[in-house]
């Protein structure tokens, strides 16, 4: 049996953490495969309320093995503090295994992220400043240091010395910064090794043997497809591949290893950071959704930008991921809207298009074409069966499903693990 990939369909924060926590109940493995602690995944279950940045959201199920895959940029300081917090809440974290190929996010990566954002001024990407972009830059420039390097002290020190030589030139010449201290990094390395070395392994072997043994493997996406380095709203994107291609690469699975590709979409859109957002709502409706939905970033606490559901963007997301089903979250947040708009296409230079252009400039000139649905003005959070939803809520879901051409398998109507409507058992 192949794995199930759970992928952010939009610009991130679709509710992946909640869905992974739910699906982990029947999973043997949960693998985080991309991004880093730019992610913030919220889980609310019988054990409490948690905000995870690097630990997979399957950690709350005691029978699930959790893996941080090779595709993740891992900040060991963040991982250690997250493990400490989980242990304080009596969560067993010994079930976590870390790929020896995952690249290390160093404090100087965070520094570079912040300095570059300041240098860009009004052209800034609006990154999370967690050092994720600079870490992937070093990975592709082939000077990165990996978690496996922590297993040999001399080797680690040699690699760190090499990268710091480069980084200090960059810091001094581009940013006028005095540079970073090597000994501090050596000390950090010793601390990381003593705390984490027993959890470092060749995780691709583990994942593939689990698949061969017919175990249930869940691949946990971070970020969203519209932030993908190739297919997102470049350059306002993240530096990795949040979609299914990233799942194959970031877990080390071949093309037949994934059976189900589940796209998680909010019932509307949000975006944190800069970049094109054709359906953005700068009016009272946007303010109302932000306030009802508590739309503030899980990682940076920035207010999330709000917009109506964007079908052309969802089409792109489906084209590059090939969803087998869709999960729609936060339907309840729309409960008190009088009218709900769906963007079915754009007007660009007098033409009607139903698929987004690739360039930022063109996207900024796309005018959304809307179809309006009457609101339902009834609470949905306690509904558990599709037929019990208000008529207009059903019409809304059915219309989105028809426009995207992908079946909806689950509706999420609240942040807690059990606040769901199973539409069809396609997971
Ligand atoms: P992720 O990054 O995709 O895991 O999503 P985040 O955790 O950053 O943001 C999603 C937010 O929505 C969190 O605060 C969740 O607790 C919340 N959430 C998830 N599903 C639902 C839902 O169906 N309804 C409501 N009201 N909140 C939800
Ligand atoms: P989860 O997993 C929402 C956004 C940032 C910025 C852009 C680049 O919680 O859905 P980066 O720090 O990655 O270089 O920033 O990507 N971004 C996210 N937005 N949710 C996330 O993760 C995000 N991770 C990065 O806001 O616009
Ligand atoms: Mg998030």
* HEC per residue, 57-71: CCCCCCCCEEEECCC
The ligand placed nearest to the CA atom of residue 264 is 1
Greatest alpha-carbon span in the chain: 66
Q: What is the mean pLDDT of residues 135-141?
A: 98
CA 64 vs CA 23, 59, 84, 249: distances in Å: 11, 7, 19, 22
Residue 206 DSSP SS3? helix
| Angle between helices 311-321 and 391-404 in degrees, nearest 10 | 50
135 lines ligand 2 (CB under 6 A): no
Model confidence at 301, pLDDT cuts 50, 70, 90, reads: confident
Could you give all domains of the chain from N- to C-terminal order, each with its CATH number?
Answer: 3-99+200-261 (3.40.440.10), 103-196 (1.10.300.10), 265-422 (3.90.170.10)
Ligand 3 midpoint to CA 12 (Å): 6
Active site residues: 13, 41
Which pLDDT does position 426 carry in this prediction?
56
- Beta carbons within 10 angstroms of residue 227's beta carbon: 29
Which pLDDT does position 298 carry in this prediction?
75
Model confidence at 297, pLDDT cuts 50, 70, 90, reads: confident
pLDDT at residue 30 is higher than 80: yes
Residue nearest to atom 25 of ligand 2 (CA): 38
Which pLDDT does position 427 carry in this prediction?
57
159 lines ligand 1 (CB under 6 A): no
What's the pLDDT tens digit per position in 366-425? Answer: 999 999 999 999 999 999 999 999 999 999 999 999 999 999 999 999 999 999 999 987
From 238, 271, 306, give the residue whose CB has the most ligand 2 atoms within 8 Å, as the site to mutate. 238
Q: What is the mean pLDDT of residues 281-290?
A: 96
272 lines ligand 2 (CB under 6 A): yes
From 21, 127, 277, give the residue whose CB has the most ligand 2 atoms within 8 Å, as the site to mutate. 127
What's the pLDDT tens digit per position in 71-90? Answer: 999 999 999 999 999 999 99
Q: Are 379 and 390 in contact (CB under 8 A)?
A: no
Q: What is the mean pLDDT of residues 122-146?
A: 97
The ligand placed nearest to the CA atom of residue 236 is 2
What's the pLDDT tens digit per position in 209-230? Answer: 999 999 999 999 999 999 999 9
Scanning the structure block, which residue is given the tokens 């199920």? Answer: 61
Average pLDDT over the chain reads: 97
How far apart (Å, rounded) are the C-alpha atoms in residues 292 and 397? 20
pLDDT at residue 100 is higher than 60: yes
Ligand 3 midpoint to CA 8 (Å): 10
Which of 335-359 are b and which e, b meaning 16 or more Cβ less than 10 Å from the residue's Cβ?
Answer: bebeebbbbbbbebeeeeeeebeee
The token pair that represents 295 in the structure block:
């739309």
This prediction's pTM: 0.97
Q: What is the mean pLDDT of residues 154-180?
A: 97
Ligand 1 midpoint to CA 10 (Å): 13
What's the pLDDT tens digit per position in 321-355? Answer: 999 999 999 999 999 999 999 999 999 999 999 99
The ligand placed nearest to the CA atom of residue 32 is 2
Q: What is the mean pLDDT of residues 11-29?
A: 97
Which pLDDT does position 278 carry in this prediction?
98
Residue nearest to atom 16 of ligand 1 (CA): 415
- Beta carbons within 10 angstroms of residue 243's beta carbon: 29
Q: Which of 231, 1, 54, 37 is nearest to 129 (CA)?
A: 37
14 lines ligand 1 (CB under 6 A): yes
Q: Which atom of ligand 1 is nearest to the CA of 57?
A: 4
What's the pLDDT tens digit per position in 233-283? Answer: 999 999 999 999 999 999 999 999 999 999 999 999 999 999 999 999 999
CB-facing half-sphere around the CA of 86: CA atoms within 13 A:
25
Q: What is the mean pLDDT of residues 111-133?
A: 97
Ligand 2 midpoint to CA 272 (Å): 7
From 12, 13, 18, give the residue whose CB has the most ligand 1 atoms within 8 Å, as the site to mutate. 18
Which pLDDT does position 1 carry in this prediction?
81
């Amino acid at each position: 049996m192949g794995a199930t990939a759970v992928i952010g369909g939009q610009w991130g924060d679709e509710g992946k953490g909640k869905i992974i926590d739910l699906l982990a109940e029947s999973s043997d493995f949960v693998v985080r495969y991309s991004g880093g602690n730019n992610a913030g995944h919220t889980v609310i279950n019988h054990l409490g309320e948690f905000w995870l940045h690097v630990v997979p959201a399957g950690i709350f199920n005691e029978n699930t093995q959790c893996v941080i895959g090779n595709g993740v940029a891992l900040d060991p300081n963040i991982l250690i503090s997250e493990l400490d917090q989980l242990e304080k809440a009596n969560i067993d974290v010994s079930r976590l295994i870390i790929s020896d190929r995952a690249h290390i996010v160093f404090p100087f990566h965070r520094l570079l992220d912040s300095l570059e954002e300041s240098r860009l001024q009004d052209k800034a990407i609006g990154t999370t400043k967690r050092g994720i972009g600079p870490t992937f830059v070093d990975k592709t420039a082939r000077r990165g240091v990996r978690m496996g390097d922590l297993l040999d002290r001399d080797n680690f020190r040699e690699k760190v010395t090499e990268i710091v030589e480069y980084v200090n030139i960059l810091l001094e010449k581009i940013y006028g910064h005095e540079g970073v201290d090597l000994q501090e990094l050596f000390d950090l390395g010793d601390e990381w090794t003593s705390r984490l070395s027993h959890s470092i392994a060749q995780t691709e072997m583990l994942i593939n043997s689990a698949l061969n043994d017919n175990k249930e493997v869940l691949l946990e996406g971070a970020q969203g497809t519209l932030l993908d380095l190739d297919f997102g709203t470049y350059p306002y994107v993240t530096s990795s591949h949040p979609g299914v291609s990233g799942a194959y690469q970031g877990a080390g699975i071949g093309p037949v290893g994934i059976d189900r590709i589940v796209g998680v979409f909010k019932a509307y859109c949000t975006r944190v950071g800069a970049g094109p957002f054709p359906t953005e709502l700068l009016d009272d409706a946007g303010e109302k959704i932000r306030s009802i939905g508590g739309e503030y970033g899980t990682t940076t606490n920035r207010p999330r930008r709000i917009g109506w559901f964007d079908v052309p963007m969802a089409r792109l997301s489906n084209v590059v991921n090939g969803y087998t089903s869709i999960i729609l979250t936060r339907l309840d947040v729309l409960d008190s809207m009088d009218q709900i708009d769906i963007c079915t296409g754009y007007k660009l230079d007098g033409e009607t298009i139903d698929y987004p252009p690739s360039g930022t400039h063109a996207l900024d000139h796309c005018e959304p074409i809307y179809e309006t649905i009457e609101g339902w003005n009834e609470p949905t959070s306690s509904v558990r069966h599709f037929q019990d939803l208000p008529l207009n809520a059903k019409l809304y879901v059915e219309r989105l499903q028809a426009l995207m051409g992908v079946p909806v398998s689950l509706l999420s109507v609240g942040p807690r693990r059990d606040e769901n409507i199973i539409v069809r058992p396609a997971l």
